[in-house]
Structure formats: structure tokens, C-alpha cells
Amino acid sequence: MHILIIGAAGMVGRKLTQKLVAEGGLAERAIDALTLVDVVEPDAPAGFTGKVTRLTADLSDAGTAEKLIATRPDVIYHLAAIVSGEAELDFEKGYRINLDGTRALFEAIRLAQAVDGYRPRVVFASSIAVVGAPLPFPIPDDFHTTPLTSYGTQKAMSELLLADYSRRGFFDGIGIRLPTVCIRPGKPNKAASGFFSNILREPLIGQEAVLPVPESIRHWHASPRSAVGFMLHAATIDVDLVGPRRNLSMPGLSATVGEQIEALRRIAGDKAVNLIRREPDPMIIRMCEGWAPGFEATRARELGFTAESSFDEIIRVHVEDELGGQL
Amino acid sequence: MHILIIGAAGMVGRKLTQKLVAEGGLAERAIDALTLVDVVEPDAPAGFTGKVTRLTADLSDAGTAEKLIATRPDVIYHLAAIVSGEAELDFEKGYRINLDGTRALFEAIRLAQAVDGYRPRVVFASSIAVVGAPLPFPIPDDFHTTPLTSYGTQKAMSELLLADYSRRGFFDGIGIRLPTVCIRPGKPNKAASGFFSNILREPLIGQEAVLPVPESIRHWHASPRSAVGFMLHAATIDVDLVGPRRNLSMPGLSATVGEQIEALRRIAGDKAVNLIRREPDPMIIRMCEGWAPGFEATRARELGFTAESSFDEIIRVHVEDELGGQL
């Protein structure tokens, strides 16, 4: 089978590529071709013996989607997006990339179907940003999408498109509302939500991290490994079991910052915890208060999606996958 | 003030125009100009002494939105849409008119603001079709939008845009989720939901009507007079009270077909009721079962939107407004 990953150079895209190569197949079908696309050239996957095509392209450019669909991939992962902060700063770019790019992809598939009956599986990375405060805890599966960012709006609109194109039979789509991915590997970045990862990742390697919010802040997390697991499961799940409601709030772990820190203490001791420096940032605190504290995710769990059940586990996944299993 | 009505030739558009002319103003500001737009030429409003501009235009055509915004109307009613059945039959046309047309309007306003700070009130006619079965009864305000038609998808996407453009301050938008308008004046039409009106309107003038569903079917109704009332209130309501959740499920009356018929009996007697011919239609029955049985509409009621509280009242409104007050 042929798998197309749009947004392959991002963190989830890279880990998904590695996992697909390691598995060698999806649902007992061998993967013989991978097409990796991003606005920067994706890395060549190590150890893959099938055909690899790496493309630098912007889905929102005219003709890009048609070109990607021309080879009729069996499974399409659409992970490409500009992030929340950028979509808020650049209104036009956000709508162009996050909405028009997605629609161009869906349209290219629809028009391909008219030619030869093409009907791929489409897995779309949505976000918990589709909901907006005030929020209950836990947030039920049937809670409305009233985003408070342009990014969340673009994701919620794309979800609606995905469900309608799926209902009309143009493709078999699954929208995955990803929790905040924690512990995000790499260096601290400027994302307002970066501290959720920073306060664990940096102390685990003996470095200081800044905590800008009170320990009482509650948020919704899943490991990169779980995020990749969602992607694999979404590509093989029986869409008839899902029905017309194709956008699923993924399972995750609801935890306060204090609970994150206590898990760090259990795994890496006081020495690690003492590396967290408290520097309250009123702007980040205000933003945090609008973020999702956690979801019921009942449907996704019933459909077989799984995530971590403790922050200790999330930290151990990071130690295994990023630190070679050793502290 | 200058009021623009896009979709002015439709049933709600015509009644809204008449009401605005009769009132002469909105929130104590006199109306001195009306621009009436539709794909067929709107009628000239009788008795209006201000400036009237009537245009035949399609909002989804390039340049139309910019042209409409060039005169900087203070209040914009966006009622234009192709209906559910047509949007389902013609996928491309539905998205072009109902989504792209709406977006073109919103974009034209945003770009006008960049020129001179323009910030109108925008009242958008959405629909209860943004929700889809299975549905609770009553449907709470925070229930998710999982439409089962392309029309409902286009309306739900437009709602998201309206909320985001309002949040960013490009205009002050209010989305109005209209109940099924009953009793719809005029002749029986081919809409699948037409029978809700037909079984009252025709017997009231001594003519037969066909009932294709069982009396147990429950649905959500408001009179044309209430629909116009929602439009007036939405144009003058304090948007700060509404907050960022700009799309409101309007109040209405939840009634079964049996309750509709009993109201008809109380007002027009057995003779009228006996004109209803039962001809079960399995396709319409199946469609009906997916339709909204009724909403809580708590927020809209708290914000001052009102509708009828009995079907007797809905019938009396029809008798007053369409039959000169006499049976």
C-alpha cells in the first residue's frame, strides 16, 4: 500500500513515519510506498525498503493537492498546519493554510473519485482547540465547538468538511482531536503551552525550566507515542463503526501541573523538581484558563483508541523513546 | 441608517423588509436607506420614503460582496442560501453559494475595515440543520454541530466564521438558528418539511392537505412573525452581553404533528381537521426522524428573543398576518 503524509517534517509526522517503517504495514497490508510532504523537505526514513518520495510543497498552492492525489495513495495523513500563535498573528495565512489547504486536498480527492472511483482513507489531525472556554470538566463528546482562536476555528471548519465529504462517500475520513502532546521532544519552543513539556523534559536532563503558571492548572495530555498510536488506529478502524460523527476527541490524561511535578519527583527525585523555576506570567496564566482541562473521550475509547493512564507513564515513555531508557 | 438585506426576495427577507419599513427605524435610529439584494429582483417596499436600491446579484460571484459593502451599510442581513435539498443535489453549488458566498461577504467587510475602520452589525440566518441525529430532546445550547446534510455543514461552517470574524472585531455578528418557519405562507412546495405548514394552511382555507408522517413526529417551530422578530432583535442586541458564542439557537415551539392538529381543531373545527389526508411516505418519515425535536434555547431567551408558546398562537398569527384576521 501507498501512504501519503502531508506535514511529514513535523514532530508527529516524523514519529509517524518512523513507526510506519518499523511496522512495515498497516492492518496486515505491506507498505510499499511512502510519500512524505512538507514545506521543508522531510528526512529520508531509515530502514525502509519500499519507494520513498519526498516533496517540498505547500498544500494551499494551486495544483499541489491534485499532484499529491495523482498517484492515488491508499491512506492520506493530513497533519500539515500552521500553529495557533501564527494563525492568530497572520489571519490570511491561517485561513489559507489551515482551511483552504485542507479543502483543496478534499476537493482533489472528490474530483479524483469522479474519474476512477478513488476513495482513500483520510486521517486528519485536528485539535482540542476546537473547543473554547467556558468549558466543563470533563468535556463530553457532544460538547459544542466554540473555538476562541482562528486556529481552532479553522480546525473545526475542517472537521465539518471531513465529516461531510465522508458522509457523501468521497473518502473515508477520521478526524483526530489530539490532546497536547507531552513530553514534546527537542528544545524549549515559544509556544505558550510549551511549559507543560519544558518542566519535565529539561529537569530530566539536569537543566532548568521555567513554570509560568500555578500548579493548579489542569490540562489534557498524551505522549508522542500515543499520538502516533492514534494515527495508526485511525487508518485501520472500521468506519462503519464510527458512523457519521467522524471527529473524535482522543483519550488522554487530565492532570494538574502539580500532578505533573509529583510524577517527575517519583521518577527523577527532588533534584529534578528543584530545577523548576517559578516565574508567573499573567498572559500565559490567562491563556491557560481557556484551555481544555480534559475530555470524556468515551467514543474514542470504545473505538479502541488508547493513551497513558498516569503521568509517570508519560514520563517513562519519554525516557524510553528519547533518552535511550536511561536517566 | 442604511440596511442591506441579502436574500431580500425570500419569504423571511420580504417580511423583514416590510417590518423594517413599518417600524421606520431600528433601536431609535431612523432607516433612511434600504439595499435589497437577491438572485431575482426583490419587490420595491411599499410606503418607504427613504432611498431604496434593488439589486439582482449572486453573492458568490467575484466582486459582488465588495460592491455591496462599498456603500458601508450599518446593518447587514445575510439571509441568502440555497435550500437543503438543492445543496444536497448539487454539491458544488451548495458550497459555492452557502459557504463561499458567506465568506466573500465577511472578507469584503474585513478588507473594508482595514481601509476606514468599518464595523457593521451582521445578522446571519443559520438553521437548526447544523445539528444531526441522534439528538436529545430538548437539545441543549452547548450541543455539538454534527450536521447530516451538506446544507447543515455549510451553515455550521459559516457560523464558525461569523464567530471568529466577530471575535477579531471585523464586524459584530449574530448567527440566528431559525426553527422551521410555520405556518409558511404561499402555496405548498416540494420541501420535505412542507407538510408541517401544509396541514394547517390549506385546511384553514378549506382545502385538502397531505400528511405523510405519523402524528407522533415532534419538531421545532416558530411563526414567520417570530422569525422577523429574531432578525430585528439581533440587529440591536448588545453584543457584549452575547460574548464570543455568537450563534444562538432561537426559541420556538416544540410540538408533535398531533398537537398541531389539535390546535387546528380548536381554532377551525373538525371540518378543517377532516381535510387532512393521511398518506404515509416512508422516505419523509425517515428524514423526519433525523430532524430536531426542539431546543432549550436558554441563552437566546435570556437575551430577549421570544417566540410563540402554543400552536394555537402560531395559527392565530397566520390568520392575522395572511388571512386578514378572518377564517
Nearest residue of chain A to residue B244 (CA atoms): A148
In a domain, A99, yes or no: yes
**Confidence at residue A287, expressed as pLDDT on a 0 to 100 scale:** 87
d(CA A182, CA A190): 15
pLDDT exceeds 90 at position B287: no
The total of structural domains in chain B comes to 2
Check CB contact under 8 Å for A145 and B145. yes
Whether residues A97 and A86 fall in one domain: yes
State the Cα angle at A212 between A208 and A213, rounded to 5°. 130
Check CB contact under 8 Å for A150 and B144. no
Q: Which domain holds residue A216?
A: 192-220+253-294+308-322
| Residue A157 at interface with chain B, using a CB cutoff of 8 Å | yes
Whether residues A124 and A23 fall in one domain: yes
Confidence of residue B136 (pLDDT cuts 50, 70, 90): very high
CATH number, domain of B258, equals 3.90.25.10
Smallest Cα distance from A145 to chain B, Å: 6
B10-45 tens-digit pLDDT: 999 999 999 999 999 998 999 999 999 999 999 999
| Residue A150 at interface with chain B, using a CB cutoff of 8 Å | yes
Check CB contact under 8 Å for B157 and A160. yes
In a domain, A302, yes or no: no
CATH number, domain of A94, equals 3.40.50.720
Nearest C-alpha neighbor of B264 from the set B216, B325, B212, B197: B197
What percent of chain B lies above the pLDDT cut of 90? 94
**Confidence at residue B27, expressed as pLDDT on a 0 to 100 scale:** 87
**Confidence at residue A191, expressed as pLDDT on a 0 to 100 scale:** 78
Whether residues B163 and B207 fall in one domain: no
Report the mean per-residue pLDDT for chain B. Answer: 97
Contacting residues of A for B146, CB less than 8 Å apart = 163, 244-245
As for the ipTM of the complex, it is: 0.97
Check CB contact under 8 Å for A168 and B142. no
As a whole number, mean pLDDT of residues B198-225 equals 97
Catalytic: which of B77, B95, B118, B151? Answer: B151
Whether residues B233 and B281 fall in one domain: no
Whether residues A37 and A64 fall in one domain: yes
Q: CB neighbours of A93 closer than 8 A, spacing ≥ 6?
A: A82, A86, A87
Whether residues A23 and A105 fall in one domain: yes
Check CB contact under 8 Å for B160 and A168. no
3-state DSSP: chain B helix, strand, coil percent, rounded to 5?
Answer: 45, 20, 35
The secondary structure of A91-127 as a DSSP string is HHHHIIIIIIHHHHHHHHHHHHHHHH----EEEEEEE
Whether residues A160 and A263 fall in one domain: no
Whether residues A60 and A197 fall in one domain: no
Whether residues B199 and B144 fall in one domain: no
In single-letter form, the type of residue at position B274 comes to N
Check CB contact under 8 Å for A153 and B132. no
**Confidence at residue A230, expressed as pLDDT on a 0 to 100 scale:** 98
Residue where a domain terminates, one of A234, A249, A264: A249
As a whole number, mean pLDDT of residues B103-132 equals 98
Contacting residues of A for B150, CB less than 8 Å apart = 164, 168
Smallest Cα distance from B104 to chain A, Å: 13
User: Out of A102-116, A148-162, B186-200, B242-256, which region has the weakest mean confidence (pLDDT)?
Assistant: B186-200
Whether residues A216 and A226 fall in one domain: no
Report B:77-96 residues touching A (Cβ under 8 A). Answer: 91
| Residue B113 at interface with chain A, using a CB cutoff of 8 Å | no
Whether residues B142 and B209 fall in one domain: no
pLDDT tens string, chain A, 327 residues long: the values are 999 999 999 999 999 999 999 999 998 999 999 999 999 999 999 999 999 999 999 999 999 999 999 999 999 999 999 999 899 999 999 999 999 999 999 999 999 999 999 999 999 999 999 999 999 999 999 999 999 999 999 999 999 999 999 999 999 999 999 999 999 999 887 778 999 999 999 999 999 999 999 999 999 999 999 999 999 999 999 999 999 999 999 999 999 999 999 999 999 999 999 999 999 999 999 988 889 999 999 999 999 999 999 999 999 999 999 999 998
Whether residues B17 and B113 fall in one domain: yes
Report A:241-260 residues touching B (Cβ under 8 A). Answer: 244-245
In a domain, A112, yes or no: yes
